[in-house]
Structure 1
């Protein structure tokens, strides 16, 4: 199989080399495609020594894209840049033939105030891959996107693509784990968390806020080598009906496996959801069903979910010809937790663009709060760390189709540290200790994976914290929060 893959890449090299001697096309974007046998995308990306790598996979497994090199990219400094950058995306992709289907990858931070942004990533970025492997239900395609604004840029794009192909490692084997890890600390810690929840409840009394989502950064200290691609693949295996995403910043990698859709658009038809309200999974089928019933009828979680639903519908209504939501909430089950969900569908008004959808929806009350501006102000003033891309947006944007996930259940790898992120919706009836347990439950899956992948040290557990506090999925967490 590897020889067939190498032969197709060799044929791509021939096509690219021919282009060097041909006239520069009039269109600003040229795309070459070749079919490929099935490739393990995460393993293939992990094997490459390339400074520009990205990965995204949709929740249904219908579309996945592995990118090597950037044909075009543009950074966003704040959410006001969305219109100009997304307009550039449409203009660029419209140069492709109608039958061609190509998307740009993108990410956006949770908020654009300077203190919330991670410098290594900035507020956001949109990327048109230079070389991409695209997997759909129809099979695998190798694509090369060449900018042709002028002869110099066109020829440079071709040479860059040739350099990437020449340096390829055709291994698809995910790297073996060789690391240990320890809990270094939380931001905020449990005491500061209790104070934060108490402060939020005081604001609820004043009527300024109905809900605020507070979050925590869990820092793990690493010894040895860890592959974000191996961790991401195992994460998706544990929670298969989830988005996958991975982006590289300056010496950092942000990646995750999110169950939550922000919005998906196919032509002028959109789908989104209100995903809020959480309970743990049971240890057996009977207990799991009992917990599901408890969640389905819990007034606190139902209230939290309705706040999200009402806000999304209120903001989408002016943009839609028609909009409908499920008549009742349903359950989404993940490995360690289950959520309440309302699904929402709509038909957009003519000329409504993706940037308008993102502007009204992001961040939703599921990750920010309600009302939005008051919740964001509370988070900015009180959370002790920068959220960066956590609870932001990761997705694909195109002319015919766009799909954006909410970047929860995510992690950031920086040198010898791995940061895990989790959040909990705080409403008037919230109890700090229950919400702290929810934060633990939401990182339990990735901690279990790390615990299985880590290098054993004489059978001694390597995840430990202050005062011997141990954090894993078997902890006796509060069931409902």
Structure 2
């Protein structure tokens, strides 16, 4: 009989206890499909799983079960709260040199002032988990770790049970067959508040023309209704198969899967170096190589898109110069081409100042002008007033950090929230002085396409 052998630790009560201990153990497992391992946890850990793969395919993470949950509904203190709780857990870590670093995975809501509404009711302002079973594929090497956070005197017995459960999960992933799920049958696509969106774009454009802001990102959402309940593995399989150039992620909570394939890195920390990416300004892909090149050249020369991109470059470079040293930023953008869209892209690299961690940079960078606007405080007030929806974790930081301080967060665009027989998809665009509402509306359909396609939908807008 399958038994759930892990227990969630409430970080608010347990983190900081003097007698708490954080045990970890790593084994090599040879070749194993990360999605098969994810699916092996379906029967006992359906709402306690996550998936992550970086854009260059050098790192894949799968988490099953909860060794600890760190969450908060604090506003500006939420980054510090998660950082402090994680550092306290890290101080309790007991590991051998051969063991890999345990990870903490999760995300923040876009705006804590409007969080927890509509379909996002069960998602707090921040939600992070340290998994009980952690699969890591790094540069082709596959490892699985057990993580146990406990204050129990019988920790050795607990760990032995976790070893048995780890072996059971590995056996399921390696031996059982997981047929590829067909794409779900979409019964209906519903545009939510389309006219309100178009009205908001017009109002924002007028305000920008009056000098109230330089740029404001306005988003909208659509609902998909399916004939049958959509398994999480189906959504992840199709999005990872179709969006090879992007970061791929999935986070489960309370019968929901927040997932997507985003092209945009927010921040990466590796051995004290910080990496970010300015991604703003977009155009569709061409139907031929010649048209694709022409569209790319048009994007590089387009004043509206270059202006939109420069707002992001200016903001991210300011943050890096404040929190890092030896900052490197190219003077002109290049093209980032993914399956459905082309973006303007400028990489940023810096060496972190002492005492700064990944959550400091996430706090300082979110929201970038690519997802909020410029100036940030003005843009956020306009979004709250006119957008008319709770973005939840859409357009917000999602990612991981480990006990050594390394980590990576992406911006959760090209994303959706799967809820049984429904899915909620989100897309937006930067509004500037010469924006046209119909063109902005059409651009959102291009941005809906990756998740829409993965869930069996077809563009009809």
| TM-score interval (norm. to shorter) | 0.7 to 0.9
Which residue is equivalent to 2:36? Answer: 43
My pick for the range that moved more, 265-274 or 77-86, is 77-86
What's the Cα RMSD here? Answer: 2.3
Q: Match for residue 251 of structure 1?
A: 255
C-alpha offsets along residues 420-452 of structure 1, whole Å, 9 cap, x if unaligned? 11111111111111111110001223333444x
Residue 80 of structure 2 is aligned to residue 83 of structure 1: yes
Q: Which residue of 2 aligns with 1:471?
A: 459
Residue 111 of structure 2 is matched in structure 1 by 111
SS at match of 1:101: coil
Correspondence for 1:61: 57
What is the TM-score with the length of structure 2 in the denominator? Answer: 0.87
Alignment of 1:78-477 (within 5 A): 78=74, 79-94=76-91, 95-97=93-95, 99=97, 100-115=100-115, 118-151=120-153, 155-156=157-158, 159=161, 162=164, 166=168, 169-170=172-173, 171=176, 173-177=178-182, 179-189=184-194, 191-398=195-402, 399-451=404-456, 471-472=459-460
SS state of the match for residue 224, structure 1?
A: coil
Structure 1 residues 285 and 304: alpha-carbon distance in aligned structure 2, compared to 1, 3 A threshold: same
The answer to whether the 8 A contact 2:214-2:373 is kept is yes
CA contact (8 A) 2:109 2:115 kept: no
Find the counterpart in structure 2 of residue 18 from structure 1.
none
Q: What secondary structure does 1:151 align onto?
A: coil
Q: Give 5+ residue unaligned stretches, structure 2.
A: 1-18
The equivalent residue for 1:31 is 24
Change (3 A) 1:210 1:142: same
Q: Is the 8 A contact 1:395 1:404 kept in 2?
A: yes
Q: Which runs of 5+ in 1 are unaligned?
A: 1-25, 452-462, 464-469, 476-481
Aligned equivalents of 2:375 and 2:287: distance in 1?
37
SS in 2 for 1:179: coil
- In the TM superposition, residue 378 of structure 1 has moved relative to its aligned partner by 1.2
8 A contact 1:255–1:411 mirrored in 2: yes
Q: 1:199 to 1:310 in 2, by over 3 A?
A: same
Partner Cα distance (1:254, 1:388) in 2 = 10
> What's the CA shift for 1:209?
1.1
Name the CA distance, whole Å, in 2 between partners of 1:292 and 1:283: 12
- Give the distance between the partners of 2:323 and 2:107, measured in 1 at CA: 23
When residues 355 and 195 of structure 1 are mapped into structure 2, their CA distance, relative to the original with a 3 A threshold, is same
Q: Counterpart in 1 of 2:3?
A: none
The answer as to whether partners of 1:68 and 1:164 remain within 8 angstroms in 2 is no
SS at match of 2:130: strand
SS at match of 2:136: strand
SS of alignment partner, residue 143 of structure 1: strand
Give the greater-gyration-radius structure (CA): 1
Q: How many residues align?
A: 431
Distance 2:29 2:375 in 1: 48
Conserved in 1, the CA contact under 8 Å of 2:358 and 2:405? no
Structure 1 consecutive aligned stretches of length 4 or more whose deviation exceeds 6 Å: none
Distance 1:56 1:366 in 2: 22
Per the alignment, in what secondary structure is the counterpart of residue 413 of structure 1? strand
